[in-house]
Amino acid sequence: MKKFPVDLTENGIRTLLNSTDSYARRFTETSLRPLLGYREIKGALSDKQNEFPPVPWDMEKLRAKVKSEVSKHVFGWYGEAESAAGDSTRKNVEAFSKYRITPRYLRSDKSFSYSQTVVLSSKELGVTRLTSPTPIFVAPYGAANLYGKNSDEISCAQGATDANVVYTLGHLTKYNLEKICRAVEGNAYYFNPRLRSPGGAPPFSMFQIYLTDDDDINRSIIERVKRTNLSVLIFTIDAGAGHGGIQMMDDYADFTYASKIAGNLFEDPMFNYKCFLKNRCVGTRTPSVLAYASRRLRIPVAKLARTFDLKSAFTYAREIQFKGMAKQNSDKNPKSKMYPWSVAYLARLAHTRQTISPAYSKITHRRGLPLVVKGVMSVEDAVAVQKSGVDGVYVSNHGGRFVFNSVSPIDVLRQIHQKVKKSDPRFGVWFDSGVRSATDVLIAVSQGAEFVGIGRPVIYACVDNGRGGVRQVLQSILYTLRDQARLCGLTSLAQLHEKNRPVIVHPEKSRS
């Protein structure tokens, strides 16, 4: 029988199905086929969209493969090059090895439910309950269209949907959020539960924001997020001091800010209005986007569209984005009681059901958006974030890309969880950084993660193999998760928190 990585192409699966080895046949029939969403090998596999070459299932192999496929420049940007920059990333992964899992075989019920109720809570918005088909989601990442080979934002979003996994749209993307949402909802898998696997309801999508220096533009982006029916706003606070700093230069990975990641600004009505006021040009030719600027400036849309100048618009976009990101995580302003970029202020913008941007004054249906703050690494920050009125904390050190020798998020998760839950048991605690396998997901959940983000495995799978790669990597994690959970006697991950089921123990604690 073929050893891993298994050949998952149509021919590979056919070979396994016809294998003389009965174990290989049964494994393929019961596991690989449903895992890949193929109900019938013949019909489903003749569809080209379903056919893709395998990506390595072992994350170390996938990483090594991607390393050999992309430039040093790009690999350095991932924050994984062999330098101090890679150190925290490696430690995040290694930190999981301290946790051990107790197998529990004596259980008659071998069913397993992937479904996860994600609960968030704030004073202003109350309790939000979202049903996710699985306990994992794709962590936000920007600049996908600069990573080469098959890396593309829409491919990644669709691959995640194919696997029935919640996707997070990044702020720094080539395509605007409306376009990516259309691609997700236009995905055949999204509406067809027989094609989606595993889990039940279709996944929702979320948006991660980096603030600009212009509050009107921030409001406009948040308004668009609400309008597009995205379910959660994630505010990333751990990028305020410049992306990666000196080590990125060392790794030849200074991407700074390219026009290919300014898609959300170029297609923003308020941005174009402001851009015209400042530079006498706009960053798009899309009539619906220019309509707002046209109304306020009393210049016909067609005339405005003729001022399109990507280079100047980009210079303006870069300026406001950099300035905003540099101070977005500040919480104090000597001049004003309500500093525009404080977390509390952002929560108010997200939560309000009123129009917050004049560009959208005619919209009647609106709703409050729950806000989760990403990049929290200490109990003190978690408490401050909770006090500021948001709906949840997202424990993460950005995959170890920024701070050298950083403490690993998995090691601070439990303390943060215990502290914030004391004040509000329904306050959300999310997690990412270092998750490379299904057992890492189990460990993260056991330490208090209610929703587990996957970063580089998805990024690399997309680089290596686009949509199909993303789908494979996520499904391989989910499939293994189901089997590992069953071997631990679990029918759902929620049981990890039941008193008499101490499945995962920390070695130091087990010695005492």
Ligand X SMILES: Cc1cc2nc3c(=O)[nH]c(=O)nc-3n(C[C@H](O)[C@H](O)[C@H](O)COP(=O)(O)O)c2cc1C
Chain contacts with ligand X (rule: CB under 6 A): 77-79, 92, 139-142, 170, 172, 208, 236, 374, 396, 398-399, 401, 432-435, 453-456, 459
CB of 385 to ligand X, least distance (A): 15
CB of 365 to ligand X, least distance (A): 28
Residue number with CB closer to ligand X (128 or 168): 168
The label of the residue with tokens 């210079």 reads 315
DSSP of 186-251: T-HHHH-TTTS-SSSSPPPEEEEE---S-HHHHHHHHHHHHHTT-SEEEEE-TTTT-SSTHHHHHT
CB of 454 to ligand X, least distance (A): 6
CB of 349 to ligand X, least distance (A): 18
Cα(73)–Cα(78) distance, rounded to whole angstroms? 9
CB of 77 to ligand X, least distance (A): 6
Q: Coil, helix or strand for 143?
A: coil
CB 455 within 8 A of CB 139: yes
Strand boundaries in 79-115, DSSP class E: 100-101
Residue number with CB closer to ligand X (38 or 460): 460
Radius of gyration of the chain (CA): 23
Q: What tokens were used for 503?
A: 């499945």
Residue number with CB closer to ligand X (199 or 375): 375
Residue number with CB closer to ligand X (293 or 481): 481
Cα(38)–Cα(57) distance, rounded to whole angstroms? 19
Contacts of 427 (CB under 8 A, 6+ apart): 120, 121, 122, 386, 391, 392, 393, 420, 421
Residue number with CB closer to ligand X (307 or 329): 329
Residue number with CB closer to ligand X (133 or 140): 140
Which residues on neighbouring strands pair with residue 120, listed in sequence order?
128
CB of 457 to ligand X, least distance (A): 7
Phi and psi dihedrals of 67, rounded to 5?
-55, -40
Residue number with CB closer to ligand X (456 or 482): 456
What SS3 string covers 277-299? HHHCCECCCCHHHHHHHHHHHCC
Residue number with CB closer to ligand X (37 or 170): 170
Contacts of 208 (CB under 8 A, 6+ apart): 140, 168, 169, 170, 171, 233, 234, 235, 236, 374
CB of 143 to ligand X, least distance (A): 6
Residue nearest to ligand X (CB): 455
Residue number with CB closer to ligand X (276 or 394): 394
Contacts of 116 (CB under 8 A, 6+ apart): 131, 132, 133, 134, 135, 450, 451, 493
CB of 13 to ligand X, least distance (A): 29
Contacts of 237 (CB under 8 A, 6+ apart): 328, 329, 343, 373, 374, 375, 376
Residue number with CB closer to ligand X (351 or 374): 374
CB of 358 to ligand X, least distance (A): 28
CB of 438 to ligand X, least distance (A): 14
CB 145 within 8 A of CB 452: no
What are the C-alpha distances in Å from 417 to residues 9, 122, 134? 42, 16, 20
